[in-house]
Structure formats: structure tokens, C-alpha cells
Amino acid sequence: MPIAFSIFVENMENKALYIETYGCQMNVNDSEVVAAIMQPEGYRLTERMEDADVIFVNTCSIRENAEQRIWGRLDVFRLEKRRNPALLVGVLGCMAERLKEELLEKGIVDLVAGPDAYRSLPLLVAQAETGQKGINVLLSREETYADISPVRMDKNGVSAFVSIMRGCNNMCSYCVVPYTRGAERSRNPETILHEVRELFDKGYREVTLLGQNVDSYHWSEGTTSMSFAQLMEQVALVDPLLRVRFATSHPKDMSDEVLHTMAKYPNICKHIHLPVQSGSTRILELMNRKYTREMYLERIAKVREILPDCTVSTDVIAGFCTETEQDHHDTLSLMKEVGFDMGFMFQYSERPNTKAARHFKDDVPEQEKNRRLNEIITLHNELSLQNNEQEIGKVREVLVEGVSKRSAEELFGRTSQNKVVVFPKNNYKVGDYVNVKIERCSSATLMGAPQI
């Protein structure tokens, strides 16, 4: 699901920037980097689009409906511009990279900046102020924004995203990311550790290390080098009270070393996001995922062996090119075999210029894709309910993230296993670790009472 939220920055001349973010966690962190780049230019934060002098929309191209949603937002910004003709609108992120001129042709867009071009935003804005449209969609082999301290946009001050790498070299045949975000590059570990320490000192108690494929994190300088497992260990050592999460792992690259490091440190959360995409080896090959059904199940067996208390979440695509009923059933049977705790499930959406778009026919009818997706979702809900029921009676340590949406008298947070828990507030506050005895559950949430 796209995440949308906003920030607001204003400067000495009382100029204000409003940012809307769509897409993945990495985009959320990128918007924080963008806010940090704009801040020295004198901008300050608020949340009202109506007050904005500049609107940035940080976009996603992963599926067609993600792009449709952005076109819809541009219509809203057009109305805003009618009210305030001096307003500038900038399109950032993956869709900016993919559609460049098409976006600029849309009268209301004043500037377009791709994911590696954010340092040039002050210049592009200045240019747009003079009435010239600004564009920078150059992809870089080096840019990691390593030296930039993101302006945090999370509302709770407890958990933060830290990007450890950018881009992707994997070329899954359905995916636009390698085209919109360019080649994979890892960020200097010193800058990562510095950022994590700063976050901890400010009161943050959880960091999520982000990359499209964290297992291929690799840094080398002179004679020293660092793998993902080593980096994760360094981050875990910052403080035992700091929880460490990471996403996304790739089944073809997730090493035993990573699993052993997770087992060694109680503050590394016992949850792995391991997208499977399909349970059919034939489809996985067409997707260019570079693992088979059996290899995926072998990785799961290793997780169970080394980390018996670890949850696994996944991504599934329904109705990829040539997918048969049998392939679909292979996906359902794999889901049952693994028993995923959480999942993101999508209908295949053909993306222009990807390998799948160029070489395969998008031949599963819409209605059929929809039916298969619904079967996947129904099964997933059953499986996650079963898993959650196993939690009843256990005592779990919960890091409090906020007040429950349903009641001001309840707090919510997550277990190390990434399950959301709701419980009575008592005297606890955001950022506390609370031992909660699980009493009830739904397929999405656990409910319980603090253990005194």
C-alpha cells in the first residue's frame, strides 16, 4: 500500500514546502533527505498544503495504479495553483525518473527530479522561480546522500529508517526499480553508524536498515571490507536498548551469517521480510528471481533452525505472464507450507520497458488475476490468524510507538517479531519497553495486558 503523508517547511522569507510521499519505505526516507537538503535554504515545517509556496510529490512507479494515483494528485495541485499562481510543483522520485518530459508537459509541473538528483533541488527551485522549468533525472553510480542527516518525519520519535544502500542490480523481469533507481551502491558504514548513534541519543529506540536487497550490502576501502551481517552487528552494538530491523532480504542472497548474527543479538528483531513472489519454479525463472521453490523452502528451513522464534513476511505477485492454475496452486501450497506471518499481495501490473513487458505477454485476464489475488489474500488471512493464535498466553516485549487509533486509553507497539500489539495505557508512554501478556487476536493485531 502506498504510504502518504506530508511535511511542511518554511523559511525566513516565510516560504513553505509541503511534501507528499508515496511508495516504499525508501521513499519515505528520501523525503526526509529532501527536507534536510531544503532546510539550509531557510525552509521550515508545517502540514498544510494550502500554505505551501512549493509542493513536492515523491512518487512511485512500481504498479500502474501507483502512477494513476499521482496523476490524480497533480489535478488537485492544479486547483491549488489556480488559487495561488506563485505556487511551484515539483515531481520527485521513481515516476519522475521514468516519465521525465511527459510530466513537464503537464502544465502545472515546474520541476522534475529523479532519486539521485536531490542535491540539485535548491537550484531547480530557483530556476523554476524565474519561470524556467527545471529537470534533473541523472542517475549516479556514487550518490548515497551519506553525509546528509535526514529531517525525521515520523510522528513518534521512536523508530526511524536508515538507508544503507541505493539502487538495485537484480533485474527481476517485472520490476521498474533498476530503471528508476539505477545501479546498486552501498553507503559508507561510518556515516550509517554515526546516524544511528545520533538517533539513539535523540531518544529513538528502533532503526530499520533499508535497501532493495540488503544482503548484497558491501563496503570496501583499502584493505578493509564490510558485509551486511557485519554492518548489522555494528549497529546492534550501538546500544542494547536499540532495536534493529532491516528490509528487504533476497532469498537468493540471504546468508547463514546473517541468521547467526540475528541469533547472537537480542536487540536484532526476529523478523525477516523475504519476498517469494511465486511458489512455482517455472514462474520464478521467468521472473528472473534466480531461486527455485525448493531453494526458497531451504532458506525458510534454515531460518526455523537458527531462529526458532522468528517471523517471516513476504510479497506475492498474482497472475504473472503465462501463470497457469497449477502455478497459482503452487503459490498457495508454498504459502501453507511456510505459514507467513505477514504479507503484501499484488496483482501483476505490466511496467513499460521491463524485460517482462518486452518479451512476455501479459496474458492472464484481469478478472482471473483478481480471483487468484483474492484466493491468496483469503489464505494469507487464515494463516496469519493461525499464527497470531499461537501467540495467546505468551509474554512479549513491546516497544510502544503511539496511542491506539481506536481508544485514547490504549497504546500500540510491536513485538520483536513485528506483530502489532494493543494494550491498556496505564502509566506507560511512547518509547517504553513493556512486557505484555497476549490475550486475544485478530489476523492483523494482538491484544493483551501489561505484566506487572
- State the residues that interact with ligand F3S by CB under 6 A: 23-24, 26-27, 60-62, 93-94, 176-177, 180-181
Q: Which of 168, 283, 286, 300 binds ligand SF4 (CB under 6 A)?
A: 168
The answer to whether residues 206 and 243 touch, using CB atoms and an 8 Å cutoff, is: yes
If the CB atoms of residues 317 and 399 are measured against ligand SF4, the closer one turns out to be 317
Bridge partner list, 135: 112
63 binds, among ligand F3S, ligand SAH, ligand SF4, none (CB under 5 to 8 A by kind): ligand SAH
Of the candidates 267, 288, 172, 167, the residue with the CA atom closest to the CA atom of residue 218: 167
Longest Cα separation, the chain: 64
How far, CA to CA in Å, does 103 sit from each of 5, 14, 63, 97?
Answer: 22, 28, 17, 10
Q: Which of 213, 354, 387, 416 binds ligand SF4 (CB under 6 A)?
A: 213
178 binds, among ligand SF4, ligand SAH, ligand F3S, none (CB under 5 to 8 A by kind): ligand SF4
Binding to ligand SAH, residues 257-276 (CB under 6 A): 275
Binding to ligand SAH, residues 147-186 (CB under 6 A): 174-175, 177
If the CB atoms of residues 31 and 170 are measured against ligand SF4, the closer one turns out to be 170
Q: Which stretch binds ligand SAH (CB under 6 A): 28-36, 103-111, 324-332, 342-350?
A: 342-350
**Considering the rule CB under 6 A, would residue 63 count as an interface residue with ligand SAH?**
yes
Q: Which stretch binds ligand SF4 (CB under 6 A): 80-88, 94-102, 115-123, 173-181?
A: 173-181
Sequence-distant (≥ 6) Cβ neighbours of residue 329 within 8 angstroms: none
The answer to whether residues 58 and 21 touch, using CB atoms and an 8 Å cutoff, is: yes
Cα angle vertex 243, ends 239, 248, to 5°?
A: 130
Residue 63 Cβ, how far from ligand F3S at the closest point, in Å?
8
Contact flags string 126-165 toward ligand SF4, x per CB under 6 A = ----------------------------------------
With residue 395 as reference, give the H or E element that holds it.
Answer: strand 395-403
271 CA to centre of own chain: 15
The sign of the CA dihedral 230, 231, 234, 239 is: negative
Q: Where are the beta strands (DSSP E) in 175-241?
A: 185-186, 206-210, 218-221, 224-227
The answer to whether residues 369 and 347 touch, using CB atoms and an 8 Å cutoff, is: yes
**Considering the rule CB under 6 A, would residue 212 count as an interface residue with ligand SF4?**
yes
Residue 196 Cβ, how far from ligand F3S at the closest point, in Å?
22
Q: Which stretch binds ligand SAH (CB under 6 A): 13-21, 197-205, 341-349, 380-388?
A: 341-349
If the CB atoms of residues 213 and 331 are measured against ligand SAH, the closer one turns out to be 213
Residue 379 Cβ, how far from ligand SAH at the closest point, in Å?
16
DSSP for 22-77, written as a single string: -SSHHHHHHHHHHHHHHGGGT-BB---GGG-SEEEEEE--SSHHHHHHHHHHHHHH
Q: Which residues bind ligand SF4 (CB under 6 A)?
A: 168, 170-172, 175, 177-178, 212-213, 250
Q: Which residues bind ligand SAH (CB under 6 A)?
A: 62-63, 174-175, 177, 212-213, 248, 250, 275, 277, 315, 317, 346, 348-349, 351
